[in-house]
């Protein structure tokens, strides 16, 4: 079987965890390929809610092998905290496999992240302060610490010393903070080595062998398309590639092995943190979406900014990811609105109207949405299990979004639970 990629089509929080869970026993491996514990997936199974940040969502399915790929940056304290939490709730995590090439978030990454954001003041990016950006910076600067380094104390000490030389200069001379002690960092990281070592493998080899055997491999993104460091709303983005291309580099699987790209898109739009957001609602409708949709960050608890569906963004996600299927989530949240606007284009400062993403950050920042309005349905749709079970106006809304978005809708979510989904076509065939 070929590999399947699952990405977010907006600014995250679209419901990728639920989409992964829906695939359930149809997949053999679930691979997280980018990001760190700045991402959060919430999954509801039989009224039980599970929130994971580093672990792939497939960890909740007993038949699936969860894998943390080389493209992830790992806070080991958070990782083992999640493992312990799930084990206490009766979830078997013994199948977890971790890439030897994944990079480690050390305490100094979190320090630099938080101090740097405060130093930027009004120009801050809005990071979660969890050290993800600084860890990726070290990776690209070739001074990062990888998982495999924890099993050679001499190498680990050399790498931590090299990483801290410029950071301590920055902390002391620019930020007026105390220098970080190398030995303390090494000691902290070594405390995880014994427990971690049995989980560590060459995951590129593992996954390619699995595909050769005919197993199904799902590659699961953290964050989403508009947060991708190359294709997102830079600089208000994450520090990794959350698009389908990142699935190859973050897992060690070649692009010719990927057959389907599933993008999860919410029936409206949300984002967390700073940055442009053309359809944002700073009124009663925005607050209504936030309350009904429970739009508060899984990782941070921060209230999400809310707005109407943006078809321009959906088309852009379809293009840069090569989307074959959309999963539309949280349609039920819109059941309390008489009229539902959809953004079909942008009006730019020069008066022109475009229906694709603007080329420049300036134009996107100043873009005003051009709306087409659709009648609401004012009915509870949470019990619908077939497309024809939906009210006529809900069906028309879905059909219009599909026509605008650049790829077919294969699943429609009408609630948070596993069974509150309408399957319009299989995702693994």
- Hey, which residues are catalytic here? 13, 41
Q: What is the DSSP string of 252-311?
A: T--GGGEEEEEEEEESSEEE-SSS--TTB--SHHHHHHHHHTT-B-TTT-PBPEEE-EEH
Question: Which residue(s) pair with 421 in the sheet?
Answer: 413
Which tokens sit at 90?
Answer: 């009766």
CA 343 distance to own-chain centroid: 23
DSSP tally for the chain: helices H, then strands E: 13, 20
Q: Identify the CA nearest to 325 among candidates 397, 207, 429, 255.
A: 429
Categorise residue 322: left if φ over 0, alpha if ψ from -120 to 50, beta otherwise: left
Cα separation, 267 vs 376, in Å, equals 13
Helix intervals (H) in 44-106: 76-88
Cβ contact 368:353 at 8 Å:
no
Which tokens sit at 171?
Answer: 């902390």
The 3-class secondary structure across 316-358, one letter per residue, is HHHHHHCCCEEEEECHHHHHHCCEEEEEEEEECCCCCEECCCC
């Amino acid at each position: 079987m070929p590999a399947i990629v699952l990405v977010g089509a907006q600014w995250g929080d679209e419901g990728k965890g639920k989409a992964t869970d829906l695939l359930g026993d149809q997949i053999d491996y679930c691979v997280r390929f980018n990001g760190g514990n700045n991402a959060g997936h919430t999954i509801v199974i039989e009224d039980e809610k599970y929130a994971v940040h580093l672990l792939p969502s497939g960890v909740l399915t007993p038949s699936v092998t969860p894998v943390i790929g080389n493209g992830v940056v790992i806070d080991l304290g958070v990782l083992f905290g999640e493992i312990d939490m799930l084990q206490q709730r009766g979830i078997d995590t013994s199948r977890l496999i971790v890439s030897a090439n994944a990079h480690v978030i050390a305490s100094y990454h979190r320090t630099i992240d938080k101090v740097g954001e405060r130093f930027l003041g009004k120009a801050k990016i809005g990071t979660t302060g969890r050290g993800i950006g600084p860890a990726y910076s070290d990776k690209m600067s070739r001074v990062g610490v990888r998982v495999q380094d924890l099993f050679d104390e001499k190498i680990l000490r050399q790498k931590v010393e090299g990483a801290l030389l410029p950071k301590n200069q920055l902390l002391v001379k620019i930020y007026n903070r105390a220098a970080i002690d190398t030995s303390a960092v090494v000691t902290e990281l070594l405390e995880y080595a014994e427990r971690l070592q049995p989980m560590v493998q060459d995951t590129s080899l593992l996954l390619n062998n699995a595909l050769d055997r005919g197993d199904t491999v799902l590659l699961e993104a953290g964050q989403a398309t508009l947060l991708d460091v190359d294709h997102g709303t830079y600089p208000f983005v994450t520090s990794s590639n959350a698009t389908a291309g990142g699935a190859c580099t973050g897992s060690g699987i070649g692009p010719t092995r990927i057959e389907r790209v599933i993008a999860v898109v919410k029936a409206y739009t949300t984002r967390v943190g700073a940055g442009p957001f053309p359809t944002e609602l700073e009124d009663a409708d925005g607050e209504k979406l936030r309350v009904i949709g429970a739009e508060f960050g899984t990782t941070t608890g921060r209230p999400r900014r809310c707005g109407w569906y943006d078809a321009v963004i959906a088309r852009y996600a379809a293009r840069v990811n090569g989307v074959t299927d959309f999963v539309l989530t949280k349609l039920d949240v819109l059941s309390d609105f008489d009229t539902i606007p959809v953004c079909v284009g942008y009006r730019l400062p020069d008066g022109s109207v475009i229906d694709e993403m603007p080329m420049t950050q300036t134009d996107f920042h100043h873009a005003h949405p051009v709306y087409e309005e659709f009648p609401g349905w004012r009915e509870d749709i949470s019990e619908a299990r077939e497309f024809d079970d939906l009210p006529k106006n809900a069906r028309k809304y879905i059909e219009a979004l599909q026509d605008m978005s650049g790829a077919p809708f294969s699943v429609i979510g009408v609630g948070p639970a596993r069974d509150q989904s309408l399957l319009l076509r299989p995702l693994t065939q």
